[in-house]
């Protein structure tokens, strides 16, 4: 088996190859003058492990091209971050189920799929090949332990994220709770007055995705008003759209951390070992 990746997953891809002690194949990426994408990968044969997040449309097209370039091989596709998975149903008439459209498109040419903390697990059923999700709860728990907080409260910003927060809290033996969020627009949310006693506590808000940072900035503001000693933010997928990281930094969060499913300077823990373990299985 050889490991190959698309352009924006090159650090994670190389770490996965190292963790599995597999050859890592170098690929070239370019764009034609009209903007169409081009890539050329090194020699692949037999089995291929393809690591590619699709955090933006270019990465999604690169991935489609890469699957075609790997034509002759048996491909295990690792989607550390799967874009479009948040549109997991038709919210209004005339809309696509975007997660389904992407899952179907990516199924053509691969043998199996591994995702990492996919936003909505029902999307897995839209792949036309076996698909399984893995969680970075252990990595995030290790990072939280490293903060050295005194009995941190692991807080989910909404009910949908409560299970993930509970998984992390269980690993560390910490207390957990959740807030109640209503989304007002793509960037704004309302969080209901909380019964969480934040007074004097170190709080880590955990979520699968930080996109615009609206959710966590609102939650952090409320917790600080409630007397929290410190508020940290930790997520799996640091999308940081529309200045999301800066929004959080300016909201007075003590730290903002993400994994390398989307590679950035905020990547504080890696998905590589968990992906390698899933591939070994």
Which residues contribute to the site for ligand R5P (CB under 6 A)? 157, 160-161, 189, 207-215, 244
Distance from C-alpha of 137 to C-alpha of 232, rounded to nearest angstrom? 16
- Characterize the bridge pairing of strands 37-41 and 47-51: unpaired
**Comparing C-alpha atoms, which of 112, 113, 176 is closest to residue 140?**
176
Q: Which is nearer to ligand R5P, 40 or 89 (CB)?
A: 89
Q: How far is the CB of 157 from ligand R5P (least distance, A)?
A: 6
Exactly one of 2, 8, 15, 181 is catalytic; name it: 181
> Hey, which bits of 167-254 come out as E strands?
175-178, 181-183, 189-191, 202-210, 230-238
Phi and psi at 267, nearest 5°, equal -70, 105
Q: How far is the CB of 20 from ligand R5P (least distance, A)?
A: 30
Distance from C-alpha of 182 to C-alpha of 158, rounded to nearest angstrom? 8
Q: How far is the CB of 15 from ligand R5P (least distance, A)?
A: 25
CA dihedral 216, 119, 27, 33 (to 10 degrees): -70
Q: How far is the CB of 133 from ligand R5P (least distance, A)?
A: 14
Distance from C-alpha of 74 to C-alpha of 131, rounded to nearest angstrom? 15
- Mark whether 181 is an active-site residue: yes
Q: How far is the CB of 97 from ligand R5P (least distance, A)?
A: 16
Q: Which is nearer to ligand R5P, 149 or 161 (CB)?
A: 161
Contact status, residue 6 vs residue 56, Cβ threshold 8 Å: no
Alpha helices in 21-161 (DSSP H): 57-69, 98-107, 137-147
Active-site residue set: 181
């Amino acid at each position: 088996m050889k490991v190959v990746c698309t352009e924006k997953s090159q650090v994670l891809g190389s770490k996965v190859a190292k963790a599995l002690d597999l050859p890592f194949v170098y690929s070239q990426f370019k764009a034609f003058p009209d903007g169409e994408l081009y890539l050329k990968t090194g020699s692949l044969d037999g089995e291929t492990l393809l690591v590619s997040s699709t955090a933006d449309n270019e990465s999604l097209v690169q991935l489609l091209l890469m699957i075609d370039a790997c034509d002759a091989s048996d491909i295990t596709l690792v989607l550390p971050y799967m874009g479009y998975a948040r549109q997991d149903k038709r919210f209004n008439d005339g809309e696509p189920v975007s997660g389904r459209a992407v899952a179907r498109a990516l199924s053509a040419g691969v043998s199996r799929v591994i995702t990492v903390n996919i936003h909505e697990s029902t999307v897995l059923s839209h792949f036309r090949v076996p698909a399984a999700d893995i969680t970075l709860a252990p990595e995030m728990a290790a990072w939280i332990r490293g903060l050295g907080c005194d009995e941190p409260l692991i807080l989910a910003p909404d009910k949908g994220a409560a299970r993930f927060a509970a998984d992390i809290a269980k690993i560390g033996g910490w207390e957990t709770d959740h807030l109640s969020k209503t989304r007002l627009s793509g960037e704004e949310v309302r969080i209901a007055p909380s019964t969480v006693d934040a007074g004097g506590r170190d709080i880590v808000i955990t979520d699968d995705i930080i996109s615009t940072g609206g959710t966590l900035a609102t939650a952090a503001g409320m917790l600080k008003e409630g007397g929290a000693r410190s508020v940290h933010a930790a997520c799996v997928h640091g999308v940081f759209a529309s200045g999301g990281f800066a929004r959080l930094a300016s909201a007075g969060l003590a730290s903002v951390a993400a994994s390398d499913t989307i590679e950035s300077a905020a990547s504080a823990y890696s998905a590589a070992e968990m992906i390698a373990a899933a591939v070994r299985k």
